[in-house]
Chains A and B, each alone.
Chain A
């Protein structure tokens, strides 16, 4: 195997100038608490390999990209990036507000080390890919954020970088363009470009990357095949969401308080991880301070992109004082692999808010491999029954015989 395209060993990163005062304090044996953005990070990328970076906000993902891009120096450790890289770090290629899109692309290209002639040749391709049309020659300050993303992405994929650092770039832009970008990234990967992708869109990450690294508070919490790391990450976030008593703090002024929301499997064991098609039992305990006849309670299931996948509820009468219980069973969970949250709401008969408990519960779903083998993914599992499967030709054979 050839030399890695990215090699990071024992990387520690703290922002800002190394302060002499802190060095003196350390030397005196009284180190001050230091805020490390990255802690002892190791990372290696082979040429042509794509790796996803995931983690919560502030976990150090963007910092790592900045250090790799050379925009920010490491505090300790060794970083070697023997490649021409393109940093898609801040969503856009904008380097100068007054310049046109064309000039911005040109300037950025110059900074990446492309020669003038080379750049002039590529500008046509950049203009075409961006689909900006006449906007390409308009000043950058007039661009919408979607147009900025287009320009940035088009520049990135047309400079023949060996390594692309992709930081949430695909989050903007309209759907057709995003689709085009994904297709183009796949094409670049086929041609041997390496990607280092930061994204909160786990599906996208899984699609683009071979491996993933999960950063938590600046350190590597997990690494390995994409699916495993994603599931580690989602388990972690789900745990976090239900931790500290398993509940979001109900606002004190809410007339109804959600006391507990328990998730159990078919046989009644507490469970946070289900398989598609499993039964799920929910048990909600609540306390009301008001008397309300004909109030409603509703549960909604939210995915990691905050899309509401479905909801269910019923009417119930509230009495002040005692704790009430609601239990229900979802016979067959129609969800595919992912991490999900449950919101609980109480309303009066007229629809006025009695309680909103966002993320009152959370769980993970793993789809069994056979279910996914012939599917193209999606958000929910659509159960079907095949009624006829006759290969071409089988009809004629039947007629001949």
Chain B
């Protein structure tokens, strides 16, 4: 019997961190991150509707259906919509909301839906949630067309401040990515996060002014309410698109701050745990 002594424990005095070196410097890896996210997003877009009848029509069907539900709800309970046709009022919020909700859902699960790839290659893991958000942004652009058509049909004209919708969309995407990174980081190890996510997104719909205006929220609750970045974002979209007004800084500023905070917590967390993804997939 080859009863050799078991090998020793690892050098406990080795303070040196493990190192894995491959060619390529920082800039190169950043460039690769972009290229890979683009390639992934393209593939995701191409493949997503391969086995579906309606195909990319789902990009606007999803917000359209959500809006339909809200319109029905409004018929039942009667919600103030600030003088705008309720359909337009709701649609202006549903479109960015859909960007957030689908983006977050796909970003959080992006790591294990790409497990086959992750197990094999040394690729910047940040590319996977990023690609998910990029795909949602494409959906968003298509859905925005529906919103514009709806506004035209109801005679709501766009003003010059409508251009602010672009930075607002960027903020939405940034918040989605930041939260998506954090959830993917934790959710890959604890699936409960992913399983529970749809429920929390539904809760999010209720605590964001999508179906109703923020003016319905009691003033005393507003500081806490505004900590949800989607409040500032959704109200911002309504302001710039429907009223040609500046977004309310009292809502937008907390949104931006919470987004930045989420990012500075989520990003390092993701960086720290993402190398081990392949170990648990």
Contacts and interface: CB of A to CB of B under 8 A. Distances in A.
A75 B10 contact: yes
A236 B189 CA distance: 38
B115 to A, nearest CB: 10
Given A69-B120, A87-B120, A239 B2 contact: yes
Nearest to B123: A111
B43 A107 contact: yes
B32 interface: yes
Interface stretch (A96-104, A179-187, A335-343): A96-104
A287 interface: no
B39 interface: yes
B51 A71 contact: no
Given A75-B10, A236-B2, A96 B122 contact: no
A219 B4 CA distance: 12
B14 interface: yes
Given A17-B189, A111-B36, A76 B50 contact: no
B121 interface: yes
A233 to B, nearest CB: 12
A99 B32 CA distance: 22
B32 A98 contact: no
A95 B2 contact: no
Contacts of A40: 7-8, 10
B69 interface: no
A52 to B, nearest CB: 21
Interface in A210-243: 218-219, 236, 239, 243
B47 A99 contact: yes
B10 A12 contact: yes
A113 B20 contact: no
A96 B43 contact: yes
A69 B121 contact: yes
Contacts of B203: none
Interface stretch (A77-85, A193-201, A252-260, A316-324): A77-85
Interface string A288-321: 0000000000000000000000000000000000
Contact of A17 (B2, B22, B273): B273
Interface in B120-171: 120-123
A72 B121 contact: no
A76 B11 contact: yes
Interface in A37-80: 39-40, 66-67, 69-80
B26 interface: no
B121 A243 contact: no
Contact of A98 (B14, B50, B189): B50
A110 interface: yes
B10 A103 contact: no
A16 interface: yes
B18 A111 contact: no
Interface string A108-137: 101111000000000000000000000000
Given A10-B11, A99-B46, A66 B21 contact: no
A15 B279 contact: yes
A72 B46 contact: no
A141 B47 CA distance: 12
A74 B19 CA distance: 7
B21 A107 contact: no
Contacts of B118: 71
Contacts of B19: 74, 77-80
B9 interface: yes
Interface residues on B, range: 35 or more
B191 interface: no
B32 A113 contact: yes
B113 to A, nearest CB: 9
B191 to A, nearest CB: 15
B276 A74 contact: no
B275 interface: yes
Given A17-B276, A90-B120, A236-B2, A70 B20 contact: yes
A71 B120 contact: yes
B2 A36 contact: no
Contacts of B116: 90, 94-96
Nearest to B48: A98
B278 A81 contact: no
Contacts of B35: 110
B20 A71 contact: no
A90 B120 CA distance: 8
A103 B119 contact: no
A87 B20 contact: no
A17 B186 CA distance: 12
Nearest to B12: A26
B281 to A, nearest CB: 10
B116 to A, nearest CB: 5
Given A66-B278, A113-B32, A36 B10 contact: yes
Given A39-B7, A113-B32, A16 B47 contact: no
B279 A111 contact: no
A98 B18 contact: no
Nearest to B117: A95
Interface string A18-50: 000000001000010010100110000000000
Interface in B1-58: 1-2, 7-12, 14, 18-23, 32, 35-36, 39-40, 43, 46-48, 50-51
Closest 8 CB pairs of A and B: A70-B122, A98-B47, A95-B117, A74-B18, A73-B275, A110-B39, A80-B21, A71-B278
16 contacts: A70-B22, A71-B121, A75-B18, A78-B18, A78-B21, A79-B21, A81-B22, A82-B23, A90-B120, A95-B114, A96-B117, A99-B46, A108-B117, A113-B32, A219-B7, A236-B2
Given A74-B18, A80-B19, A81-B20, 6 more contacts: A40-B7, A74-B19, A89-B120, A96-B116, A107-B40, A218-B7
Interface of A: 10, 12, 15-17, 26, 31, 34, 36, 39-40, 66-67, 69-84, 87, 89-90, 94-96, 98-99, 103, 107-108, 110-113, 139, 218-219, 236, 239, 243
